[in-house]
Amino acid sequence: MSKVLYFNIADNLDYENKKLSEWGIDDVELIEIKDKDYKKSFGEYLRDTGADGVVVEYDQVTREVIEMCPNLKIVSLQSIGYNNIDVDAATEHKICVCNIPGFCAPEVALHTVAMTLDLARKITFYDRSVQNGEWEPLYGYTLHRLTGKVFGMVFFGTIPKLVAPMIKAIGMDVLVYAPTKTKEYLAEFGCKKAETLDELLEKSDFVSLHCPLIEGVTYHLMDDAAFDKMKPTAFLINTSRGSVVDEAALVRALKQKKIQAAAIDVIEDEMNETSDLFGLDNCILTPHAAFISEDSFYEGRERALKNLVDRLSAKRDGRPESIVNPEVLE
């Protein structure tokens, strides 16, 4: 019997156990532990349960944790990003790391467009003003028609492909910085290619981030130098990962009016739920909620469980569908 630890996961495991029954899987046991106070460390819980697999959302699966857990065979994420996992260490120890790419793409795409419209029409800013007893249609920055404006997207995966037609329907032109995509490929989606990030930053009226967090590549991609290249009338939208943006640099850019405003769904310190962005009058914040809907919630849970079952059950072939480090199966 393989054991799988669900640690501090939202809800209970009734849905997952029902799925196991429907799939005829009787050789995988799910263990649920909730301890928001961490009476023991995450690694100690994982070690002490003797888990063969683990489902995580935000906890860090570091090299230290991996080396504490000799039974571990798979780390399954209920997310697209996997920057909280030491993939190199996992690969060295023949541990599969599985994510669920695209599970919430429609939700994040719509959230991105909603943030765009909110910024363009000052919906949240007007609401704050009215709720504070002010009735001033000219409150805040100057509004402009969106027709012909440039919407810049950094990278072009599943989510941006859904964003592009909605943005174009609004009347904006879409510019994309995606080093691995050709201009011909982007043209198929009605988008133009920016050859450099600087070109995108200089030309865009909206800059929307859709890149994974990769150390040395996209970590603090948006820093002081990047904000200096943006138009003072431009907006930043981030629905990717908090640390793609140097948060201190963004705070400076907003306070110094280097850019007009920002809409942010992800912050750098989500474990402590704190940021210097809180309280800024030209920043809209949502609590890492872009992915949320009833549909994505259950799709994510089912796909994360399927990855585990595919790897651990004797009734499956041991090859999960969405594996970050497929070399461990060779």
Which residue is catalytic, options 93, 220, 252, 288? Answer: 288
* Angstrom distance (rounded) from CA 6 to CA 252: 39
Q: Is 288 considered catalytic here?
A: yes
- Beta carbons of 30 and 80 less than 8 angstroms apart: no
For 297, the 3-state DSSP assignment is helix
Q: Is 270 considered catalytic here?
A: yes
143 secondary structure, DSSP code = P
DSSP code string of 10-33: SS-SHHHHHHHHHHT--SEEEEEE
Distance from chain centroid for Cα 226: 21
Residues 6+ apart with CB under 8 A from 314: 27
The CA–CA distances, whole Å, from 206 to 112, 255, 317 equal 11, 18, 46
Distance from chain centroid for Cα 17: 27
Q: Is 144 considered catalytic here?
A: no
Residue type, 279: G
Which residue is catalytic, options 47, 111, 241, 311? Answer: 241
Phi, psi of 137 (to 5 degrees): -60, -25
318 secondary structure, DSSP code = S
DSSP code string of 57-89: SSS-B-HHHHHH-TT--EEEESSS--TTB-HHH
Beta-ladder partners of 222: 245
Closest CA to 308 of 28, 85, 46: 28
Which residue is catalytic, options 270, 299, 302, 316? Answer: 270
Which positions are catalytic? 241, 270, 288
